[in-house]
A and B are shown apart, each in its own frame.
Chain A
Amino acid sequence: MTEPGRQAVVCVERLSKYFGSGNARVDALIDINMEVFPGQVVGLMGPSGSGKTTLLNCMACILEPSGGRLTLDGEAVYDDHWLKADLRRLRLDKIGFIFQYPNLLPFLDATDNVAVVLHLAGLGAAAAHKRAVELLDYLEVGHRKRALPKQLSGGEAQRVAIARALANQPRIILADEPTAPLDSARARIVMDLLRRIAIDQSAAIIVVTHDEMILDRFDHIYRLRDGRLETDEVTRAPVGADY
């Protein structure tokens, strides 16, 4: 499904990952090939234990693959070994991660939960605060900017977490079951939001999900089974049809 003239933001080639060795070896990922383009929202599905989280973690540079190649935003990151010394910086600048649970820092209010990653990226306090408030407004939780995580509803907290993932304007957004704690109406809202972000920031968004109800929200669905990519099906019309 290569779209000529556009460079893939995430490019995974023959990626493999195993845990353990000898008899205890578990092949979590076998020969994965995947390309995600700017503006695309792709789904990653598969039964439990099929390797979804492992794949996401490899793409997030949290987990070292066992072989293959990984290219993020045009930069070769892994080619049988890490090519970049500072993976932490890479994560900070290029990757936004949305967790299954919002994972907000309980001791910071909504604004500061977003501002903290801007701050880590080197932005001054005032600028970080301003941009954090803008992001919260963009995600329609601006009215909750002074609230602590425990005071937020599930949907609000998830949107603050998304604002944090977006803060440094990453080209890659990875989400591990972001809609699991939400009801289906809210899940749709979050998915529409991700779609909007993909277009606005021309980012690649990869979402792990179990939720059959939101399948129509993806440009692509990748199905994993026992560490192998099964199908590579197009589920919907081209990018941005809703908007």
Chain B
Amino acid sequence: MNLAYRDIKHNFLRFVLTNFGLSLLLGIVIMMTGVYGGLIDDALRQARAANADLWVVEAGTNGPFAESSRIPGDTRELVSRVYGVQRAGSVTYQSVQTELNGAPHRLFLIGFEPGRPGGPRQISAGRNILRSHYEMIVDRSAGLALGQEVLLGTRDHKFSVVGLMRNEVTSSGDPVAYITLRDAQALQFELAPPASRREQARGGSLETNDQINAVIAKVSPHVPVAEAAAALSRWKHLTALTQTQQETLLSKFVIEKARKQQLLIMVLLVIVSAVIIALIIYTMTMDKVRSIATLKFVGAPDRTIIGLIVQQSLSLGITGYVAGLALVFTFRPFFPRRLVFDPESVVAVFAITIVVCLAASTLGIRLALRVDPAEALSAAG
């Protein structure tokens, strides 16, 4: 006969209400891990989309996301010849503001060389870029349809949408768009006609701005990435970052403050939950003092009493957690930010809940073990 279960069943409504409150609390804790996961995932999304082994950027910079990086357009050929590098592609990154469907809209433009590393990872509708000019693959969140045309740049080039992607946004939520490297370079450096005429009059260079932001290199599986990186570091005007370094850079430094803030909120929430769970268990035990005294009087061992409290505490925690998880997943689509859950953090919250429940029940256990069996004799019954 399970006393914990019987007591819960007897006070079922109270258990359900307590549980509802607890599940909201635990739901918020779980949600915060999702927000945290989303924060990191958004920060890393574009770095991961490139699917690089090595990032070749301007010497001394942490480019191309954390800092700006400019390297000559022929760097890719240089990199391709390095021992171990299998494939390489040039990329550019830039933010542009344009009008989409009559409203101002920001786009994050990625210029890439079709057929080389650095292109979109998955196209959910339409096709890849086939022509070398004025085609665009864009994230669905931009609200554009296949075949629609977008004006970009100072000379209002018409780009037509040939492909759509899902979930390709920057950490600030801007939709990502892929265009060819040549188009991207043109957009970055070409001047509006009057400015261009003035530049020409000054004797300035004509469209010689063959610059890129980074080269993405894929290294042969038979060659250690570190070896290829070492070979690349011979060029003093370049820095090679491994994918791991790039991700560490983004997750540790770029979003460091946001990350710390999230962690602090999570720690505070866990503390609040612990206090609340401890109080719930304590009052649940208080309500049972007389039953506990009677059980002790008739000869129940301490382990029966401890079992009763620990089991109730755990069932409260486990059902609260499950209900909280269900709440979060039910309301996830309505959350303003993308929530990303990795299994480890979901399991970690569960483990924390269990630990907190066990710790919280010690308060109730202390009370229960101090209950004098003779209390069962006292009048009020």
Interface residues of A (CB under 8 A from B): 53, 57, 60, 62-63, 88-89, 91-93, 97, 99-108, 112, 115-117, 119-121, 125, 128, 148, 164, 176
Contact of B6 among A100, A104, A112 (CB under 8 A): A112
Which residues of B have CB within 8 Å of A100?
Answer: 377, 379, 381
How many cross-chain pairs have Cβ atoms below 8 Å apart between A and B? 74
**Chain B positions 298 through 339: 1 when the CB is less than 8 Å from some CB of chain A, otherwise 0:** 111100100000000000000000000000000000000000
CB of B3 within 8 A of CB of A116, answer yes
CB of B291 within 8 A of CB of A105, answer yes
CB of B297 within 8 A of CB of A107, answer no
CB of A107 within 8 A of CB of B1, answer no
What are 13 inter-chain pairs, A to B, with CB distance below 8 A?
A: A57-B374, A63-B374, A89-B299, A91-B297, A91-B298, A92-B298, A99-B294, A99-B377, A100-B379, A101-B379, A108-B6, A116-B295, A120-B300
Which residues of B have CB within 8 Å of A92?
Answer: 298-299
Contact of B298 among A53, A102, A164 (CB under 8 A): A164
Which residues of B have CB within 8 Å of A148?
Answer: 10
Interface size class of B (residues with CB under 8 A): 20 to 34
Bound Cα distance A107, B8 (Å): 8
Q: How far is the CB of A150 from chain B (nearest CB, A)?
A: 10
Question: Apart from A103-B290, A105-B295, what are 12 other A-B pairs with CB-CB below 8 Å?
Answer: A57-B377, A62-B297, A88-B301, A91-B297, A91-B298, A92-B298, A100-B379, A101-B379, A103-B381, A105-B294, A116-B3, A117-B298
**Chain B positions 1 through 32: 1 when the CB is less than 8 Å from some CB of chain A, otherwise 0:** 10100110111000000000000000000000
**Chain B positions 349 through 381: 1 when the CB is less than 8 Å from some CB of chain A, otherwise 0:** 000000000000000000000000110110101
Interface residues of B (CB under 8 A from A): 1, 3, 6-7, 9-11, 290-291, 294-301, 304, 373-374, 376-377, 379, 381
CB of A97 within 8 A of CB of B11, answer no
| Residue ID in chain B nearest A89 by CB atoms | B299
CB of B294 within 8 A of CB of A106, answer no
CB of B294 within 8 A of CB of A112, answer no
Which residues of A have CB within 8 Å of B300?
Answer: 88, 120
| Residue ID in chain A nearest B294 by CB atoms | A103
CB of B298 within 8 A of CB of A97, answer yes
| Residue ID in chain A nearest B304 by CB atoms | A120
Bound Cα distance A99, B304 (Å): 21
CB of A62 within 8 A of CB of B373, answer yes
Q: How far is the CB of A166 from chain B (nearest CB, A)?
A: 12
CB of B6 within 8 A of CB of A97, answer no
Q: How far is the CB of B289 from chain A (nearest CB, A)?
A: 12
Bound Cα distance A62, B241 (Å): 74
CB of A107 within 8 A of CB of B299, answer no
| Residue ID in chain B nearest A57 by CB atoms | B374
CB of B298 within 8 A of CB of A107, answer no
Bound Cα distance A115, B294 (Å): 14
Interface centre among A101, A102, A117 (most CB of B within 10 A): A101
Which residues of A have CB within 8 Å of B296?
Answer: 88
Which residues of A have CB within 8 Å of B379?
Answer: 100-101
CB of A88 within 8 A of CB of B381, answer no
CB of A120 within 8 A of CB of B299, answer yes
Bound Cα distance A104, B291 (Å): 8
CB of B297 within 8 A of CB of A119, answer no
Q: How far is the CB of A129 from chain B (nearest CB, A)?
A: 9
